[in-house]
Amino acid sequence: MRLNPVQAAPAENPRVVPLVIISPVRDESQYLRLTLDSVVAQTARPVEWILVDDGSRDATPEIVREYAERYPFIRLEIRQDRGFRKLGGGVIAAFNFGRDHIRTPDYRYIAKLDGDMSFGPHYIEHMLAKLEASPRLAAVSGKVYRSEGGRYIEERHIAEQVAGQFKLYKREAFEDIGGFVEHLAWDGIDIHRARMKGWETLSFYDPDAWLWHHRIMGSSDRSLYVGRLRWGRGNWYMGYHPLYALATGLNRMREKPYVIGGLLMIAGYVGAALRRLPRYEDLEFRRELRRWQLQRLKRVLLRRN
């Protein structure tokens, strides 16, 4: 097993694949070159990579332009600045802006990629091979890790949860589920909508297809504590069963920020419930989600007894 986020040199004679990548970026100059270098090193390169600048105040646009001059498949699109970083809905609004600017009519795959990631040169090649091996497989990702104190820490997700940092879909499946919703819970709703329509999703272990996340998930706006509260509110919006929301918070207590992070997730959910904040409007989706969650809780409890 190779756990090494070292960047590779640009690939020689890469295969161009019918994949369009869209990256909403805002103030990503600290890590963006890692992501850019990872994509240009791929043995299988996308036919288009659209980076949507969503109001950066740093050197993000200049960095993208620098790479676009050297690599014609890279393109910068500027979206009007809303004046602040809006996670969830804002990210997907920028993603959809990028979709509106796709120039390749016959692409077969579409991906959302964050600007703080890196990965080895065979990542896209292995993801597309996995998708092609299964007709009902809608979306895939490798597993996500970050470096912490000299160790590699996995960002834990169930197998069906494709990493939101690099979601790679078959185009027909993506269009079948109606794309991503413009809300915090977008990267959970899409997975369950795919399941309801008979598709499968998968994040899997592959020694040549790790994803390296260069900051803790949920920490990109204000603080990690605010991120955990926001995560809880997203669970409320999505339609989580209260027992599953509680179990999720308890489970996340094992991650940084230890204990308090899970409590904040629970508090975010309860606070949203008490304030009767809006929920995802699809009642059938919410009923099916709760049924699936209760079944999963039951299986977990049976395994422990």
Q: Answer yes or no: is 147 within a domain.
A: yes
**Residue 197 identity (one-letter amino acid):** K
Q: Answer yes or no: is 6 within a domain.
A: no
Give CA–CA dist 168/184, Å, rounded.
Answer: 19
How high is the pLDDT of residue 1? 39
How high is the pLDDT of residue 222? 61
Is there a single domain that holds both residue 229 and residue 175? no
Q: How many CA atoms lie within 13 A of 207 on its CB side?
A: 2
How high is the pLDDT of residue 84? 53
- Residue 262 makes CB contacts below 8 A (sequence gap 6+) with 228, 249, 250, 251, 252, 253, 254, 255
Is there a single domain that holds both residue 208 and residue 95? yes
- The three-state (H, E, C) secondary structure of the chain, written as one string: CCCCCCCCCCCCCCEEEEEEEEEEECCCCCCHHHHHHHHHCCCEEEEEEEEEECCCCCCHHHHHHHHHHHCCCEEEEECCCCCCCCCCHHHHHHHHHHHCCCCCCCCCEEEEECCCEEECCCHHHHHHHHHHHCCCEEEEEECEEEEECCEEEECCCCCCCCCCCEEEEEHHHHHHCCCCCCCCCHHHHHHHHHHHCCCEEEEECCCCCCEEECCCCCCCCCCHHHHHHHHHHHHHHHCCCHHHHHHHHHHHCCCCCCCHHHHHHHHHHHHHHHCCCCCCCCHHHHHHHHHHHHHHHHHHHHHHC
How high is the pLDDT of residue 281? 96
Is there a single domain that holds both residue 25 and residue 149? yes
List the domain range (segments joined by +) for residue 261.
224-304
Give CA–CA dist 165/145, Å, rounded.
Answer: 11
Is there a single domain that holds both residue 70 and residue 51? yes
Final residue of a domain: which of 180, 213, 246? 213
Q: Answer yes or no: is 160 within a domain.
A: yes
Q: Which two tokens stand for residue 70?
A: 């050297």
Q: Answer yes or no: is 247 within a domain.
A: yes
CB 192 within 8 A of CB 157: no
Closest CA to 98 of 113, 116, 117: 113
Is there a single domain that holds both residue 126 and residue 209? yes
Rounded (10°) CA dihedral 272, 277, 282, 285: 0
pLDDT tens readout for residues 279-288: 999 999 999 9
How high is the pLDDT of residue 3? 47
Looking at the structure of the chain, the number of domains it has is 2
Is there a single domain that holds both residue 183 and residue 229? no
How high is the pLDDT of residue 120? 95
Q: Answer yes or no: is 189 within a domain.
A: yes
Final residue of a domain: which of 213, 239, 264? 213
How high is the pLDDT of residue 74? 98
Is there a single domain that holds both residue 39 and residue 86? yes
Q: Answer yes or no: is 1 within a domain.
A: no
Is there a single domain that holds both residue 277 and residue 140? no
How high is the pLDDT of residue 224? 86
Q: Answer yes or no: is 2 within a domain.
A: no
pTM given for the model: 0.92
Is there a single domain that holds both residue 166 and residue 138? yes
How high is the pLDDT of residue 101? 98
Is there a single domain that holds both residue 152 and residue 109? yes
Is there a single domain that holds both residue 272 and residue 137? no
Final residue of a domain: which of 213, 243, 277? 213
Residues of the chain with pLDDT below 50 are: 1-3, 219
Q: Answer yes or no: is 22 within a domain.
A: yes
